[in-house]
Amino acid sequence: MAKETAVTKNLAENIARMEQLFADCDDIKKKELKLGKDGDVPCYLTFIEVAVDMGNSALLELLKYLRSIPRDELLRALEENALATSDATYFMTIEEAADGLLAGESILFVEGFAKAIKIPDDGYPNMGVSEAESEKVVRGSNEGFTDSVKQNAALIRKRIRSPQVKVKQKKIGVRSKTNVFLVYMDDLIRPGLLEEIERRLDGFEIDGVLDSGVLEQLSEEKWYSPFPQFQTTERPDRAAMSILEGRVVLMSDNSPEALLLPTDYNSFIRTSDDYYNRWEIATFERLIRYMASFFAMTLPGLYLAVTNFHTQILPTTLLLSFAEARKGVPFPAVVEVLIMELSFELLREAGVRLPGAMGNTIGIVGGLIIGQAAVEANLVSPIVVIVIAFTALCSFAIPNEEFATAFRLLKFFFIGICAWLGFFGMLVGLMFVLIHLSQLKSFGIPYLMPFVGADLNDYEDQRDFLWRFPMRRLRKRPIYTRQGERVKLRFYRNQKGE
């Protein structure tokens, strides 16, 4: 590790070191000014051009204040940290000052004062608070996270106004020095969880972190699994909900996606508005999502197993209808399915990459045109188009995109094994998936909780599982929470809690 250089009282030495660090950086502005009532105190102000507004009140007021007092009083105010006009921070080394500058703040060096002064500003430009795009809800807030980790932390504090909400900052990336925030509720978090997360974050060294996805991949315990072990969200209300459950929210600067950990299978199926709507509709929709997650993985393989190996389980009329639909198709059923699956995956990828309305158009129109043309050309049968389209709908019904990707990949595994072994292959494939899921853990929490391990929390997690109990029955926090802090809802004598 390179030796750090202390800030000295000699302004020329400080300027020389900063000029050396930021040589050929034309976007960084460097101004030599005179402060003090008599203009006898040289100083050096540096900032990134687009990150600081010279008309900003904090910076402007501080400079006005330092120009209005004599030299002795100015140095005494700096020594006593009496800069009441600005939320200033002092740095002892040039390297710390450089990091503050690169974080988008103004840095001021003053002759005769052996510290650099950071003057907070608006920081780098960002997109601002916008609507959440990938996690649409029928009821609830539409606010989404931004590219600024500080704004994202503020959006969580806006929802949980408690001093127990703690924000721990880390810098990750040797060159990018990306700000990473760990947000949690101090009295709810499980002992050892925060230390384990920090241990994993400190367990690697990388040039730069430009998105939270990099942290996710480098911190996963079972990196080879298609199932994500960190849950992602771009919704502040979902993050706040997780913090109230005793989970930790990991946010990276320049990324609108926060990571929620630990997590489990059931957490990926739940949505924010499950708790804003009545329990009957929330339960119904959750059962649909569970069904969708199963069919998104198995339906094409199940179709191949039935039509190629086990036709006897189909009614005769339906079997004859399938046979009539396949007349003239030159390919085996497995080739048909693969052609259509790859076509739909290609359309999905094209729709994502094309801008705005054009992407939506290519997804809808392309699917209709390609499906219809393939049927008319006798390349595929109509029933295959229906099966593949229904499979795609099922994958879209899964609330979390990363979680849905696991089922999209496993779908091809089931196509292969069912085309080879039929329904027996389907059972073998399901066994492999279940064994793999049963071995997965997310920071000590079983991935299949509460399918397994429900007794660890006295079966309370089963109240918010395939079904969602009425809100008045959800009185305890899930297993993520520290022992002794599980109760979240109480009724008093003047209200009936039954």
Q: How do the domains of the chain map onto residue ranges?
A: 11-119, 149-263, 279-445
- Mean pLDDT rounded to a whole number for the chain: 87
Q: Residues 403, 405, 409, 414: is their CA dihedral positive or negative?
A: positive
Confidence of residue 1 (pLDDT cuts 50, 70, 90): very low
Of the listed ranges 3-7, 122-126, 294-298, 341-345, the one predicted with least confidence: 122-126
Q: What does each C-alpha distance from 398 to 138, 254, 270, 392, 406 come to in angstroms?
A: 15, 26, 9, 10, 11
Q: Give 498's contacts (C-beta < 8 A, 6+ positions apart).
A: 472
Question: Can you say whether the dihedral through the CA atoms of 266, 402, 300, 305 is positive or negative?
Answer: negative
Cβ-contact 266, 450 below 8 angstroms: yes
Q: What is the mean pLDDT of residues 204-225?
A: 92
The span from the CA of 3 to the CA of 211, in Å, is 29
Radius of gyration, alpha carbons of the chain = 29
Which residues, including other chains, have CB under 8 Å from residue 80's CB and lie 6 or more apart?
none
What's the pLDDT band for 226 if we cut at 50, 70, 90? very high
**pLDDT attached to residue 420:** 93
Q: Distance between the two ends of the chain, CA-based, in angstroms?
A: 62
The predicted-structure confidence for 43-84, as pLDDT tens digits, reads as follows: 999 988 776 666 555 777 788 888 888 888 888 888 877 665
Across 7-11, 48-52, 359-363, 490-494, the highest mean pLDDT is recorded for 7-11
Q: Which H or E element spans position 302?
A: helix 279-308
Element (H or E) spanning 183, and its range? strand 178-185
| 367 Cβ contact partners less than 8 Å away, ≥ 6 residues apart | 344, 347, 389
* Residue 446 to residue 440: CA distance in whole angstroms: 6
Across 183-205, average pLDDT: 93
Q: Give yes or no for residue 425 having a pLDDT over 80.
A: yes
What tokens appear for 184 in the block?
A: 């949690």
The model's confidence at residue 157, banded by pLDDT at 50, 70 and 90, is very high
Is residue 320's pLDDT more than 70?
yes
In the sheet that 258-261 helps form, which strands lie side by side, from edge to edge? 165-172, 178-185, 248-252, 258-261, 231-233
DSSP code for 313: G
Q: Cβ distance 475 to 490 under 8 Å? A: yes
Helix, strand and coil percent figures for the chain, each rounded to 5: 50, 15, 40
* Residue 303 confidence (pLDDT): 93
User: Does residue 395 contact residue 405 with C-beta atoms inside 8 Å?
Assistant: no
Contact 258, 266 (CB under 8 A): no
Residue 284: per-residue pLDDT:
95
Q: What pLDDT does residue 326 have? A: 80
Q: Take residue 343 and report the two structure tokens written for it.
A: 């076509």
**In the prediction, which pLDDT does 185 show?**
94
| pLDDT at 133 > cutoff 80 | no
Residue 147: which pLDDT band, with cuts at 50, 70 and 90? Answer: confident
Half-sphere exposure of 223 (CA within 13 A, CB side): 9
Residues in CB range of 56: below 8 A, 6 or more apart:
121, 122
What per-residue confidence (pLDDT) applies to 122?
Answer: 64
Helix (H) or strand (E) holding 109: strand 106-110
The whole-number pLDDT of residue 4 equals: 80
**How is residue 326 annotated by DSSP?**
T
Region 467-488: mean pLDDT is 89
User: pLDDT-based confidence at 356, cuts 50/70/90?
Assistant: low
- If one compares 134 and 395, the residue with the highest pLDDT of the two is 395
User: Which residue's entry shows tokens 């009532």?
Assistant: 37
Question: Taking a C-beta distance cutoff of 8 angstroms, is the pair 362, 351 a contact?
Answer: yes
Task: Tell me the mean pLDDT in the region 317-322.
Answer: 84
- Which of 23-27, 303-307, 367-371, 427-431 bottoms out in mean pLDDT, i.e. has the lowest? 367-371
pLDDT mean over 470-482? 90
Question: Taking the alpha carbons of 370, 372, 373, 377 in that order, is the dihedral positive or negative?
Answer: positive
Tens digit of each residue's pLDDT (9 = 90 or more) over 370-423:
777 788 788 888 889 899 989 999 999 999 999 999 999 999 999 999 999 999
CB 271 within 8 A of CB 291: no
Mean pLDDT, range 124-142, rounded to an integer: 74
134: which 2 tokens? 């990938």
3-state secondary structure at position 80:
coil
